[in-house]
Structure 1
Amino acid sequence: MLLPENIHPNNSLYLAGGFVLKALEPFEEAKLMDLYVESRKYHDIPMPLFVLALDWLFLAGLISHNADGSIISCF
């Protein structure tokens, strides 16, 4: 669920995905831990929620990865 009714909105995948995309914006590509550190500058996002947000963004076609595992934006 992206916007569940029973948790605080700060813990939703929708908001976490937005912060991940915002952190990825200034980079052409970013390593996983570098993107995590950058994302935490915008919102104190725990690692499990960060990984779920990456999964959701990948499935939505908003991010991808290259051969060395760096995360890249698809838009």
Structure 2
Amino acid sequence: MIISKDINPAKDYYYLGAKVIEILSKSENRKYDFFLAYEELKSSDNVSINLFTLTLDWLFIIGAVDNSEKGFIIKCF
């Protein structure tokens, strides 16, 4: 389940997905380093690498991001 009333909203995929999109939108490059994006999100929201990866999976499923052969996150917007 993506939305739950029992968890902190700051740990919700919608919220974290919006934060990742915000990070990617600030970049002029179409490709973004996985670990750089994680470090930026971790500094503002202190999320685990597992939660970050699940958030990226959700963004991939909805078509907001893609991945490259070299491990970069590609923004699709």
Q: Which residue of 2 aligns with 1:13?
A: 13
Of Structure 1 and Structure 2, which has the larger fraction of its residues in strand?
2
Identity of aligned residues (%): 31
1: distance between equivalents of 2:45 and 2:23? 10
Task: State the TM-score, normalized to the length of structure 1.
Answer: 0.87
| Pairwise CA distance, 1:42 | 3.1
Letter in 1 for 2:44: Y
In the TM superposition, structure 1's runs of 4+ consecutive aligned residues that sit over 3 Å from their partners are none
| CA deviation profile, 1:1-46 (whole Å, cap 9, x unmatched) | 2211111111111111111111111222111101101222332222
**Aligned match for 2:37, one of 18, 30, 35:** 35
Task: State the TM-score, normalized to the length of structure 2.
Answer: 0.85
Letter in 2 for 1:63: V
**Could you say what the CA RMSD is over the residues aligned between the two structures, in angstroms?**
1.3
